[in-house]
C-alpha cells in the first residue's frame, strides 16, 4: 500500500501506597451528564477506585497507594492523538519519549517512574491486556509492552494509574505500576464528536472522529458501543542538505562522472580537479524528510456488554478491535551511492517503512454471588499482528530486476488468559470491621511468531554496479536485501509458545478505626524458566481526620518476553551486516550468551496524605525500586569496532566483517524518587469555580551492578554492555517534571491552563571524528541536555443548547522545540538536527477545534 500524500483535502483494586493523584487534570469519575461537564469534575479524593487491591473498592482518599484518576473530560481536554499522549500530558510520572527511528517510532510506548515501558501492566476493566508483537516498541530495547495507542479514547469512562509495584496481585510486569482503563458502561445516551487541527508550521494535520452510544438490553443489562478514527499527517523538521554535500557524481574536465572524495555514502566531496554535476543546482535539498511526527491512520472500536442471568449473577463481555496503518520515511540515498540503481532511481530515493497492523481482543465472563462469596470467572484472548512493508526502495544486487516495494515479514503475538477471582468478608471477634479475604487462580497461554519476507527483501542477487565510475564493482553482503529495512529470512522464522499458571491470595483488615493493613501474595510458574513468588504489604494509618501516613513494601518480577527469547534478525549496513541472534542459540552460546532470567524487583515507598485546609489535599510519596537482571541488547561487536573479533564472528558461521549482538540480563538498577501533589478548589461566587492542581515528580536512577563480560569477549576487550547502552537504560525520562493545572468553569463556559516543566534529560552521543579543538575537543562521548523545557497548553470551551459543545485547544502555544544536537554529532549532510527521544520534538505547537453532540 502506498504511503499517504503529504496533504489531504479536509477533510482491580490493587495496592494502596503512597501518593494521591497528581495528574494535572486529575478529576472525578464518569462523564455522566452535561451539567457535570460544565461544573468541572467530581473531587478526585472521593472517586472510588478498582485498582491496587482485591478488597472492595475504596476512594483515592482512603488508598494506601498513589493513584491518579483521569476522567473522560480530562482525556478530551488533553487534546492528544492517543491514550499514550493523554497519559504523557496529565501524569507527571509518565514519560513518552518521541523516537524517529524505524518501526519503534510507529509503535510507541511510555514509561512510569523512569523504568522500562514493559514494567507497566495494562488492564482493561481489571483484566490483563495483551502485548504488542513489536519487540523494542518506542525504543525500549527488549520491551514488548501493551499498546495503549490502540485503545480508543472515546470508549473510556476513566483511567486509574497506580504508581506502585503490584506483581503480588497481578503477576508479571507490574514493577513500576498499573494502568487500568475503565470502559464506558452507560445504558443510554451517547456522543459524536469531530476534532480537526494542525501544527503551527502548517503541517501535521490531525483529525479525530469519535462516536459512542449506550443501549439497555434485557432486564437491567446494557450494551455500549464506541468507534474512533484517527488520521494524523506527518510533520517534517529535517535539516536541508548542506550545499557542500554531493548528490551526483563529480565531473572531470571532459564532463565524465568520476568517483567523489571522502566517504561515498556519508560524506562525498569534490576531488581535486573535478567540478560539480550541473544537476546539483536544481536538486531537492529537502530530500531527507524523516524527522517529525509519523503519519498514521487508526480505526478502533469497542463493544461492552452485560446481561443479568439471575438475581445475583451476570454475564459480561468486552470486544476491542483496531486497525492501524503507519508510515516512517527513512534516509535519502543520493544517486552517487552504489546502493542506488540509477536506471530505476536516477535522482536517488528515500524509502518509506509501512506498518499494517491488526489488533483484536475479547473477554467474556460470568460473575455473581454464592452464599458469602463474590466470584468472577473470565476468559480473554488478545492478538496483535503486524505486517511490515517497504516502499520506494531497492535491492541493488538485483540491478534493474529489483523490486521497489517489498514485503518485509510478519510479527504476531497472542495470549489467552483465564481467571477465577473469589472474595468474601469474614467476621472476627477482634477486628472492628469484617476482614476482607480474596483468592484466585490464573492460567495463560502465549504465542509469538516471525514470518519471512519476500525473497528479494533479504537475498543477494549477485548483480554488480551497472554504471558510473564504480561500474562492475561487486556489491558486498551488506548491500544485499531491501535498503533501509531488509526482510526477515527463513532462518529468522520462529513459532514459539509458553504457558504460565498462578495462584494468589490477599487479606485486608481494618485494625481499629485508623489503621488498615493489606497483604497479598502470589506464586506463578512459567513453562520456560520456572517459578516466582511475590508478596506485598501495604498499610495506611490515620493520625487524625486530616492527616494519614501510608506505605508499601513489595517484590515483583517480569518474565522475559517470548519475543526477547526468540527474536533473531539480520540487517544490512553500508559495509557490513548486523545480526541479532537468539540468546539460547548455539551461535550466541558460543559467543558467551546465557539463558535469559526474569527481572526481579524490590520496592518500598512511604507517603503522607493531608488536608492542609478545607477543600484541598496534599500528598507526598517517596519510593525506591531495585530491579535486578534487566534485559537489554548486548554490545554490538565486529572487526571494525573491536579488532580481532572477526575471528569470533566467523567461528559461528557469519561474515568476517559482520556485527553480532544478543539479549542479555545486562544490569541491576536502582530508581529513587519523590512525587507530590497539591490540589484544591476555589469558589469564586458569581465568578464561577476554579479547580487547581500542582504536581511534581523527581527521579534519580543508577546502575548498581553490571553483567559479567564473558571470557570469550573479554579476550578482545569487548564490554558486554557498553557505556552508551548504560546511558540509554538510565536517562530516557526527565529527572524532574512539574505540572500546574487550572480549570475554570462558569455556567456553560470553561477555560483551562496547563503549564508543564521538564527537567534535565541527559543524553550522550559519540562523534564520528573526535574534535581536536573547540568546546568538544577530545570528547569521544558528548553529553548534552534535551530538557529544561516549559510547555503551555490552553483550552476554551462552551456547552451550547441542544446538546452541542465546542472547544478550542492550543498545545505548546509558545511553539517550543527540543534542543538541537551539538555540532560534532551532526551528519555531514546536516546543518542542524533536533534531538529525539525527549518529551517534545521539533514540530512545535499545535491547535485544534472540537465540535461535539451529546444525547
Tell me the per-residue pLDDT of 362-392, one tens digit each, with 9 for 90 and over: 999 999 999 999 999 999 999 999 999 999 9
Is the distance from CB of 751 to CB of 806 less than 8 angstroms? Answer: no
**Confidence class of residue 692 from pLDDT cuts 50, 70 and 90?**
very high
- C-alpha to C-alpha distance for 95 and 736, rounded to whole angstroms: 11
Q: Could you tell me the CATH number of the domain that includes residue 168?
A: 2.40.170.20
Tens of pLDDT, residue by residue over 793-833, are 999 999 999 999 999 999 999 999 999 999 999 999 999 99
Question: CB–CB of 265/299 below 8 Å?
Answer: no
pLDDT above 90 covers a percentage of the chain that reads: 71
β-sheet bridge partners, residue 415:
382, 446
pLDDT at residue 99, rounded to an integer: 75
pLDDT at position 203 over 80:
yes
Q: List the alpha helices (DSSP H) in 573-659.
A: 586-590, 645-651
Q: Is the pLDDT of residue 845 over 90?
A: yes
What is the Cα–Cα distance from 3 to 375, expressed in whole angstroms? 49
Residue 728 in this model has a pLDDT that exceeds 70 = yes
As a whole number of angstroms, the distance between CA 848 and CA 810 comes to: 7
Let me know: does 701 contact 730? Beta carbons within 8 Å: yes
User: How many other β-carbons are positioned within 10 Å of the β-carbon of residue 749?
Assistant: 13
The 8-class DSSP code of residue 200 comes to: T
Provide the pLDDT confidence category of residue 4 given band limits of 50, 70 and 90. Answer: very low
In angstroms, rounded to a whole number, what is the distance separating the alpha carbons of residues 533 and 556?
8
Owner of C-alpha cell 461544573: 39
pLDDT attached to residue 740: 95
Instruction: Provide the 3-class DSSP secondary structure of residue 336.
Output: coil
Q: How confident is the model at residue 58 (pLDDT cuts 50, 70, 90)?
A: low
| Residue 579 falls inside a structural domain | yes
pLDDT in tens, 742-767: 999 999 999 999 999 999 999 888 88
- Structure confidence at residue 38 as a pLDDT band (50, 70, 90): very low
Judged against a pLDDT cut of 90, whether residue 569 lies above it is answered with: no
Which residues 6+ apart lie within 8 Å of 61 measured at CB?
20, 45, 46, 609, 617
pLDDT tens digits, 395-454: 999 999 999 999 999 999 999 999 999 999 888 777 767 889 999 999 999 999 999 999
In this predicted structure, what is the pLDDT of residue 50? 63
Please tell me the distance from the alpha carbon of residue 660 to that of residue 722, in angstroms, as a whole number. Answer: 14
C-alpha cell recorded at residue 200: 503551527
Tell me, what DSSP letter sits at residue 392? Answer: S
Mean pLDDT of 698-708: 95
User: Which strand (E) or helix (H) includes residue 96?
Assistant: none
Confidence category of residue 33, pLDDT binned at 50, 70, 90: very low
pLDDT on residue 784: 93
Q: Cell 496503518 appears where?
A: 325
Query: Is 267 inside any structural domain?
Result: no
Predicted local confidence at residue 274, as pLDDT: 95
In a domain, 20, yes or no: no
- Domain annotation covers residue 299: yes
| CB crowding 768-783: b at 16 or more within 10 Å, else e | eeebeeeebeebeebe
Mean pLDDT of 158-170: 92
The tens digit of pLDDT for each residue in 165-190 reads: 999 999 999 999 999 999 999 999 99
Is 296 inside any structural domain?
yes
Q: How many domains is the chain built from?
A: 1
Residue 272 domain-assigned (yes or no): no
SS3 string, 476-488, reads: CHHHCCCCCCCCC
pLDDT value for 77: 82
| pLDDT given at position 574 | 53
Lowest mean pLDDT among 73-87, 166-180, 610-624, 779-793: 73-87
Mean pLDDT of 498-504: 97
Angle at 316 between CA 74 and CA 384, to 5 degrees: 70
User: Given pLDDT bands bounded at 50, 70 and 90, which one contains residue 59?
Assistant: low
Q: pLDDT at position 140, please?
A: 87
Q: Can you give the pLDDT at residue 573?
A: 60
Mean pLDDT of 603-622: 93
DSSP secondary structure string, 513-531? TTEEEEEEEEEEEETTTEE
Interatomic CA distance for residues 267 and 832, integer angstroms: 15
Burial 619-635 (b: 16+ CB within 10 A, else e): bbbbbebbbbbbbbbbb
Q: How far apart are CA 759 and CA 743, in angstroms?
A: 24
Lowest mean pLDDT among 42-56, 173-187, 205-219, 301-315: 42-56
Residue 266 lies in a domain: no
pLDDT, residue 620, reads 94
- Judge whether 389 lies within some domain: yes
Confidence of residue 583 (pLDDT cuts 50, 70, 90): confident
pLDDT category, 312, cuts 50, 70, 90? very high
Q: Categorize the per-residue pLDDT at 138 as very low, low, confident or very high, splitting at 50, 70 and 90.
A: confident
pLDDT, averaged across the chain? 89
Q: Estimate to the nearest angstrom the gap between the alpha carbon of 831 and the chain centroid.
A: 30
Provide mean pLDDT across the span 703-710: 94
**DSSP for residue 75:** H
Nearest partner of 798 among 732, 752, 738, 844, judged by Cα: 752
**Domain limits for position 715:** 34-241+283-854
Q: Which of 694, 742, 683, 800 has its CA nearest to residue 37?
A: 800
pLDDT higher than 60, residue 198: yes
CB-based contact 837:763 (threshold 8 Å): yes
Question: What is the mean predicted confidence (pLDDT) over 534-544?
Answer: 94
Amino acid at each position: 500500500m502506498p504511503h499517504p500524500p503529504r496533504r489531504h483535502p479536509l477533510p482491580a483494586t490493587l495496592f494502596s501506597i503512597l501518593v494521591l493523584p497528581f495528574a494535572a487534570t486529575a478529576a472525578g469519575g464518569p462523564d455522566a451528564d452535561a451539567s457535570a461537564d460544565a461544573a468541572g469534575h467530581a473531587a478526585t479524593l472521593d472517586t472510588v477506585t478498582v485498582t491496587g487491591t482485591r478488597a472492595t473498592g475504596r476512594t483515592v482518599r482512603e488508598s494506601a497507594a498513589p493513584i491518579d484518576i483521569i476522567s473522560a473530560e480530562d482525556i478530551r481536554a488533553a487534546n492528544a492523538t492517543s491514550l499514550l499522549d493523554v497519559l504523557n500530558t496529565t501524569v507527571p510520572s509518565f514519560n513518552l519519549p518521541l523516537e524517529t527511528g524505524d518501526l519503534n517510532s510507529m509503535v510507541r510506548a511510555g514509561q512510569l517512574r523512569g523504568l522500562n515501558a514493559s514494567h507497566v501492566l495494562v488492564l482493561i476493566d481489571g483484566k490483563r491486556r495483551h502485548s504488542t508483537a513489536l519487540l523494542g516498541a518506542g525504543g525500549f530495547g527488549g520491551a514488548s509492552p501493551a499498546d495503549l495507542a490502540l485503545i480508543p479514547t472515546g470508549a473510556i469512562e476513566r483511567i486509574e494509574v497506580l504508581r506502585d509495584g503490584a506483581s503480588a496481585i497481578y503477576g508479571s510486569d507490574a514493577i513500576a505500576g498499573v494502568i487500568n482503563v475503565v470502559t464506558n458502561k452507560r445504558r443510554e445516551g451517547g456522543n459524536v464528536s469531530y476534532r480537526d487541527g494542525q501544527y503551527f508550521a502548517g503541517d501535521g494535520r490531525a483529525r479525530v472522529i469519535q462516536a459512542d452510544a449506550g443501549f439497555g438490553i434485557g432486564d437491567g443489562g446494557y450494551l455500549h458501543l464506541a468507534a474512533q478514527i484517527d488520521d494524523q499527517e506527518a510533520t517534517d523538521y529535517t535539516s536541508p542538505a548542506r550545499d557542500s554535500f554531493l548528490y551526483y557524481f563529480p565531473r572531470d574536465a571532459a564532463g565524465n562522472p568520476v568517483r567523489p572524495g571522502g566517504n561515498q555514502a556519508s560524506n562525498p566531496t569534490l576531488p581535486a580537479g573535478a567540478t560539480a554535476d550541473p544537476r546539483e543546482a536544481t536538486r531537492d535539498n529537502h530530500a531527507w524528510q524523516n524527522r517529525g511526527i509519523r503519519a498514521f491512520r487508526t480505526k478502533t472500536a469497542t463493544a461492552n456488554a452485560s446481561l443479568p442471568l439471575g438475581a445475583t449473577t451476570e454475564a459480561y463481555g468486552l470486544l476491542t478491535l483496531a486497525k492501524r496503518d503507519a508510515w516512517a520515511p527513512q534516509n535519502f540515498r543520493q544517486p552517487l551511492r552504489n546502493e542506488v540503481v540509477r536506471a530505476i532511481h536516477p535522482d536517488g530515493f528515500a524509502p518509506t517503512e509501512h506498518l499494517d497492523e491488526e489488533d483484536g481482543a475479547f473477554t467474556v465472563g460470568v460473575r455473581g454471588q454464592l452464599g458469602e462469596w463474590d466470584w468472577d470467572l473470565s476468559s480473554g484472548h488478545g492478538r496483535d499482528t503486524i505486517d511490515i512493508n517497504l516502499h520506494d526502495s531497492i535491492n541493488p544486487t538485483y540491478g534493474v530486476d529489483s523490486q521497489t516495494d517489498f514485503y518485509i515479514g510478519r510479527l504476531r503475538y497472542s495470549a489467552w488468559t483465564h481467571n477465577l477471582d473469589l472474595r468474601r468478608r469474614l467476621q472476627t471477634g477482634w477486628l472492628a470491621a469484617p476482614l476482607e479475604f480474596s483468592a484466585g487462580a490464573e492460567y495463560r497461554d502465549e504465542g509469538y511468531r516471525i514470518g519471512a519476507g519476500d525473497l528479494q527483501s533479504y537475498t543477494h542477487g549477485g548483480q554488480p554496479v551497472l554504471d558510473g565510475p564504480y561500474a562492475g564493482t561487486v556489491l558486498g553482503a551488506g548491500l544485499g536485501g531491501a535498503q533501509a529495512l531488509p526482510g526477515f529470512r527463513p532462518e529468522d522464522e520462529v513459532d514459539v509458545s509458553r504457558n504460565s499458571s498462578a495462584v494468589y491470595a490477599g487479606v485486608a483488615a481494618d485494625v481499629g478505626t485508623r489503621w488498615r493493613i493489606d497483604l497479598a501474595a502470589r506464586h506463578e510458574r512459567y513453562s520456560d524458566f520456572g517459578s516466582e513468588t511475590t508478596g506485598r504489604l501495604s498499610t495506611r494509618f490515620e493520625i487524625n481526620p486530616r492527616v494519614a501516613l501510608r506505605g508499601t513494601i513489595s517484590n515483583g518480577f517480569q518474565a522475559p518476553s517470548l519475543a526477547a527469547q526468540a527474536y533473531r534478525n539480520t540487517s544490512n549496513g553500508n559495509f557490513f551486516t548486523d545480526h541479532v541472534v537468539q540468546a539460547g542459540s548455539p551461535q550466541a552460546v558460543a559467543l558467551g550468551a546465557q539463558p535469559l532470567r526474569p527481572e526481579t524487583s524490590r520496592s518500598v515507598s512511604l507517603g503522607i496524605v493531608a488536608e492542609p485546609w478545607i477543600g484541598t489535599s496534599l500528598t507526598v510519596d517517596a519510593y525506591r525500586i531495585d530491579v535486578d537482571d534487566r534485559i537489554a541488547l548486548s554490545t554490538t561487536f565486529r572487526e571494525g569496532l573491536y579488532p580481532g573479533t572477526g575471528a569470533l564472528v566467523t567461528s559461528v558461521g557469519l561474515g568476517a566483517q559482520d556485527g553480532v549482538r544478543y539479549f542479555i540480563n545486562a544490569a541491576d538498577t536502582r530508581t529513587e524518587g519523590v512525587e507530590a501533589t497539591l490540589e484544591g478548589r476555589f469558589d469564586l461566587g458569581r465568578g464561577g469555580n476554579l479547580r487547581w492542581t500542582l504536581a511534581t515528580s523527581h527521579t534519580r536512577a543508577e546502575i548498581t551492578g553490571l553483567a559479567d563480560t564473558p571470557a570469550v569477549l573479554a579476550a578482545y576487550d569487548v564490554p558486554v554492555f557498553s557505556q552508551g547502552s548504560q546511558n540509554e537504560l538510565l536517562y530516557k525520562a526527565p529527572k524532574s517534571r512539574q505540572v500546574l493545572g487550572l480549570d475554570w468553569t462558569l455556567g456553560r463556559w470553561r477555560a483551562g491552563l496547563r503549564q508543564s516543566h521538564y527537567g534535565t534529560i541527559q543524553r550522550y552521543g559519540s562523534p564520528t571524528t573526535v574534535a581536536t579543538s573547540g568546546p568538544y575537543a577530545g570528547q569521544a562521548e558528548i553529553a548534552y541536555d534535551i530538557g529544561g523545557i516549559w510547555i503551555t497548553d490552553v483550552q476554551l470551551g462552551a456547552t451550547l443548547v441542544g446538546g452541542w459543545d465546542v472547544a478550542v485547544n492550543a498545545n505548546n502555544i509558545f511553539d517550543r522545540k527540543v534542543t538541537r544536537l551539538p555540532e560534532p554529532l551532526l551528519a555531514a549532510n546536516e546543518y542542524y538536527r533536533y534531538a529525539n527521544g525527549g518529551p517534545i520534538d521539533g514540530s512545535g505547537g499545535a491547535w485544534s477545534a472540537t465540535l461535539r453532540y451529546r444525547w
